[in-house]
Chains A and B, each alone.
Chain A
Amino acid sequence: MARTRTPVVSGWFTQDVPPPAPMAGPAPPFRLLGTRCTACAAVFFPREDSACRNPHCAGGGDLAEVPLSPRGRVWSYTDGRYRPPAPYVSDPAEPWEPYVLIAVELEAEGMVVLGQGAPGVRLADLTVGAEVEVVGGVLNEDAETTWLTWQFRPVGPAGRAGSTGSAERSGGGS
């Protein structure tokens, strides 16, 4: 039975869609989704849907969904050499595979967003200030569900090399 493909948090990124039929054209690009206050232009990620949190906002606006910049620059990065505690999901029977965490500065929003590196991205592929792009990926799988998330990967040769073979595992969407 095929697993259901489900975002780990709903509404934070564009809905994953099945790979397009051969004649349907390319899938829409993967984007992080935030909200933007129509009164003061404040942008929120994770999305804020109840009220604008800018203390200087005059109020009266709506919070409209907006896609965030698809690319940004590395603010900093690290990895996790030890298994994180729950609720992070990992199989204790498997050896721990460190993952990369990248904090990415989105210029248009003036915002830093943290995300995991795409499969294959190593610390050596990253430098502060380098350009990265957001892609869809798989956080973890259980019996019924493939949990989807966002990931970052370098733009350019390192990104393509680093993510070779991972696009299929991450189910496209990028």
Chain B
Amino acid sequence: MSADVAVLGAGMHPWGKWGRSFVEYGRVAARAALADAGLDWTDVQSVVGADTVRSGYPGYVAGATFARALGWQGARVTSVYAACASGAQAIGAARAQILAGLADVVLVVGADAAPKGFFAPAGGERPDDPDWLRFRVLGATNPAYFALYARRRMAVYGDTPEDFALVKVKNAAAGLLNPNARYRKAVTAEEVAASAVVADPLRLLDVCATSDGGAALVLCSMDFARAHGVADPVRIRAVSTVTPTYPRTVLDLPDIATDATTAVPTAGPAAAASFRASIARAAYEEAGLGPRDLSLAEVYDLSTALELEWYEDIGLCGPGEGASLVREGATALGGRVPVNTSGGLASFGEAVPAQAIAQVCELTWQLRGTAGERQVPGARAGITANQGLFGHGSAVIAVR
């Protein structure tokens, strides 16, 4: 178990389709986090940027881009790219610097201006890129992968499209209460069922949109927090950024095949969810906590069906029991362990480098008890979980 770092400030730029630069979203989110922390930008000793590949310089320079937008002040800079796990790696880098004594106060920023429609690889003929290949050879979009998982759940566990729709209904109800969410409107199961099929069995309202947005955190040492007059801050106790273990037996983006088990036999079905589950397991081990300690969780609902998978992977229930949790209302606001109290990607949409940071913003507000109408009463511990393309794990555990 490692030492804690404090979350002194959290901030966002509201998510939506604003037509501005990712730099603007990041700057606004950073200013909000600094104001929340009660610090000046010039107090910050290090800035870590989670990179966008689409809207900034393709050379991954987000850390310095945000520092420039805030005004050059000589801070140490780090830029990280790990697809959807970029935000968690940015938090991980900031935390490592604080625990190593390299900096007392670190600003973490992620922002993006995402194009409309399916995510697609960069242009050109690039047959050495698995992401390029899956589009060229198969036309396999991200929702196609989510649909494969959804169909598999229907066949193996008996989940239904109606179960999947319940996730959207639940997350929309939470997003309705979040001023930073893009979609703030209740959704009914009938509306989900009436939306167009994107990739059978998933419909438009089962799949998250692409968005613009930004999120930022001010992290500091526990000593700095106390000296700053914050005796009992929200603390980050674990950051998991694990890679998969060989052989990876679940088909995953952007690969078109899994590893073979000819050299290293696996334990069969138990290995089925191994990568996603291993991300959470590593976080729990580092934090010295388990699923029973959770007050809430923020997980990547790239599709409604995928949220059910995360329930199982973060240990809220056993394999195949995810649908029963959402049916019982256990994961809704007011339930036993609310999941995606922010409204999730269903309500925010994807702004890739900002997402894992936004998840920790939500944990921070919940653990402080300042989440307003979506507050989980007495929240003491929460986990975030997602994964990034090409095998990037991401989970953060925060406690109060």
A residues bordering B, Cβ < 8 Å?
8-9, 34, 36-37, 40-46, 53-57, 75-82, 84-90, 99, 101, 103, 108-116, 123, 127-129, 139, 149
Contact count band on B? 35 or more
Is B247 engaged at the interface, CB distance under 8 Å to the other chain? Answer: yes
Task: Report Cα–Cα, A103/B155, bound state, in Å.
Answer: 14
- Check A110 against B249 for contact (C-beta < 8 Å): yes
Across the two chains, which residue of chain B brings its CB closest to A123? B200
Is B317 engaged at the interface, CB distance under 8 Å to the other chain? Answer: no
With contacts A41-B263, A45-B257, A109-B260 known, is A53 near B136, CB below 8 A?
no
User: Which of B125, B250, B261 is the most central at the interface, judged by chain A CB atoms within 10 Å of its CB?
Assistant: B261
Q: Assuming A80-B140, A112-B249, what are 5 further A-B pairs, CB within 8 angstroms? A: A78-B150, A82-B141, A110-B247, A111-B258, A149-B137
- Check B127 against A9 for contact (C-beta < 8 Å): yes
B75-83, B93-101, B115-123, B360-368 - the one binding chain A = B115-123
Task: Report Cα–Cα, A68/B121, bound state, in Å.
Answer: 28
Tell which of A86, A110, A116 touches B262, judged by Cβ atoms closer than 8 Å.
A110
Is B251 engaged at the interface, CB distance under 8 Å to the other chain? Answer: yes
Q: List, in ascending order, chain B residues with CB within 8 A of A139's CB.
A: 137
Is B156 engaged at the interface, CB distance under 8 Å to the other chain? Answer: yes
Is B259 engaged at the interface, CB distance under 8 Å to the other chain? Answer: yes
Q: List, in ascending order, chain A residues with CB within 8 A of B102's CB.
A: none
The DSSP consensus for interface residues of chain B is: loop
User: Which of A53, A86, A90, A111 is the most central at the interface, judged by chain B CB atoms within 10 Å of its CB?
Assistant: A111
Q: List, in ascending order, chain A residues with CB within 8 A of B258's CB.
A: 111-112
User: Which of A34, A85, A86, A128 is the most central at the interface, judged by chain B CB atoms within 10 Å of its CB?
Assistant: A85
- Check A80 against B199 for contact (C-beta < 8 Å): yes
Task: Report Cα–Cα, A149/B258, bound state, in Å.
Answer: 19
Q: Closest CB-CB distance, B109 to chain A, in whole Å?
A: 28
Q: List, in ascending order, chain A residues with CB within 8 A of B200's CB.
A: 78-79, 81, 123
Is B57 engaged at the interface, CB distance under 8 Å to the other chain? Answer: no
- Check B140 against A128 for contact (C-beta < 8 Å): no
Q: Closest CB-CB distance, B262 to chain A, in whole Å?
A: 5
- Check B135 against A87 for contact (C-beta < 8 Å): yes
Task: Report Cα–Cα, A77/B138, bound state, in Å.
Answer: 13
- Check A114 against B151 for contact (C-beta < 8 Å): no
Task: Report Cα–Cα, A128/B152, bound state, in Å.
Answer: 7
Is B69 engaged at the interface, CB distance under 8 Å to the other chain? Answer: no
Task: Report Cα–Cα, A84/B198, bound state, in Å.
Answer: 11
Tell which of A89, A99, A110, A128 touches B155, judged by Cβ atoms closer than 8 Å.
A128
Task: Report Cα–Cα, A44/B263, bound state, in Å.
Answer: 11
- Check A111 against B139 for contact (C-beta < 8 Å): no
Across the two chains, which residue of chain A brings its CB closest to B153? A76
With contacts A53-B246, A112-B257 known, is A84 near B262, CB below 8 A?
no
What are 28 residue pairs bridging A and B, where the CB atoms are less than 8 Å apart in the complex? A41-B262, A42-B264, A43-B260, A45-B260, A53-B246, A76-B155, A77-B148, A78-B144, A78-B147, A78-B148, A78-B200, A78-B202, A79-B147, A80-B139, A81-B196, A82-B118, A84-B135, A85-B117, A87-B125, A88-B136, A88-B138, A101-B144, A103-B251, A110-B262, A115-B138, A116-B138, A116-B139, A139-B137
Task: Report Cα–Cα, A41/B196, bound state, in Å.
Answer: 45
